[in-house]
Structures are given as structure tokens and as C-alpha cells.
Amino acid sequence: MNVVITGASRGLGKAIAEKFASEGHQLFLSSRDKKLLEKTAVDIRKNWPSSKVNFQPADLSSKKGAIELGDWLLQQNNVIDVLINNAGSFIPGSVYNEPDGALEKMIEINLFGAYHLTRRILPSMMQKKTGHIFNVCSIASLHAYENGGAYSISKFALLGFNRNLREEMKPYNIKVTAILPGATYTDSWAGSGISAQRIMEANDIAELVFTATQLSPQACVEDIIVRPQLGDL
């Protein structure tokens, strides 16, 4: 399979990339940090030489960046089998005290990035009537998230985008899945004082995403909701 992953240089995106690489699939990776993205690609090539890794830096917080990434993907002359819209960001705070502009920034990266990239490459997928799109939402897409503010609002919106897309793509045989993880250990949790044993591993999410791509054409996992065993923090 040809697998596109945004926000692939660290955290969930990197774990998902490593899982697909370990199964020998071709990767198309993107993130904003060029140096870190290149390092991730080099590491994956070293660890899983049977998997071909392509990468392209992109700032998905801008419409221009998302469209340019879509153009680059289309120029590769490969069928896009899996698109994983993982790029995102988190600004802490509540509606009443978060920094001015927080909502605009959260919507730009957490919603518009996925929206514009998906729209750019959808026509080719629709023409071939094949593919699987994942949108990495959050438990914050389902209920108010403490200190979440604009982040939670943007993730609610992303889930709305996912559900709308799911209905639209049924006639085109394109699967659409929302990933809604609770607290998952990534670099952002380092130094938080919370034990890694209290929250999930990034590999847990990667395994679930990969498994969802292995079902028969007749089956589509619509939502993947996964929380730490002891519940949300």
C-alpha cells in the first residue's frame, strides 16, 4: 500500500509510520520540521529497508502548504491507498483565558490542514474508487476537555468533517475512519510528572490504525475510541 501520513516526524505519526514500514508498505511522510522529518525517514529506512520512504516538509496550517503537499503527492504517480491526517497542535487554556488567536491557530492546523489536503487528493481517489482516510481526532472531540478550550473546539470540528466525509465517500468505496485516542505518551508528556504506565503508548494507536486497514472491502471501522485502562486524566 501507498500510505500518506502527516505530522509524521514524532509521536503518533511516527509510530504509525513505523508500523506500516514494518509491514513493508511505501510511505509518504510529511511534517513541518524538515530536519526532524528527514531524520525520521532515515531511521525508518535503516530499520525497515524493504519499505520505501518518501518525505516532503509542509506547513499544513496554511491552505497553500496543504495544497502544495497534495500536488506533490499527486505528482508521485502512485495510487494513494491510505491517507492519515495526523498533523495537529495543542494550545492549553480555557475559552475565557486562552491566548488571543488560539482558536484561529487550532482551527487552521487541526481542521483546515486535513480539509484542504483531503480535498486536493480526493478526486484521484474517487476516480479509482479505492482508499482509506483516517482523521486523528481526540477524546476531546466527544466532550469538553479540561484546559482544552480552542483545542477541543477544533477537534469537535474535525470529527464533524470526518463524519460528513464518511457519508459522502460511501458510493466511491472509500473508507473514512475517525481516531479518538485519550492520553497517549509522546514527547509532549515528557516532564509532566505523569507516569508512562498511566497512559497509552503511541504503538497502541498505530496497531489499531493498521488493523483497520486490513479488513475486508465490505467492512469499515467508523470510529476508533481508545482510552487508558484507568480512564481519562
| C-beta separation of 94 from 145 below 8 A | no
Question: And the C-alpha cell for 118?
Answer: 483531503
**Which residues, in sequence order, are CB contacts of 19 under 8 Å at separation 6+?**
203, 206, 207, 209, 210
Rounded distance between C-alpha atoms, residue 213 and residue 205, angstroms: 13
Rounded distance between C-alpha atoms, residue 227 and residue 233, angstroms: 10
Q: In this structure, what are the phi and psi dihedrals at residue 4, rounded to the nearest 5 degrees?
A: -100, 130
- Measure Cα distances from 206 to 14, 20, 126 in Å: 9, 8, 26
Find the catalytic residue in 96, 115, 145, 151. Answer: 151
Helices marked H in 129-212: 149-169, 202-212
Specify whether 115 is catalytic: no
- Which residue numbers are catalytic? 151
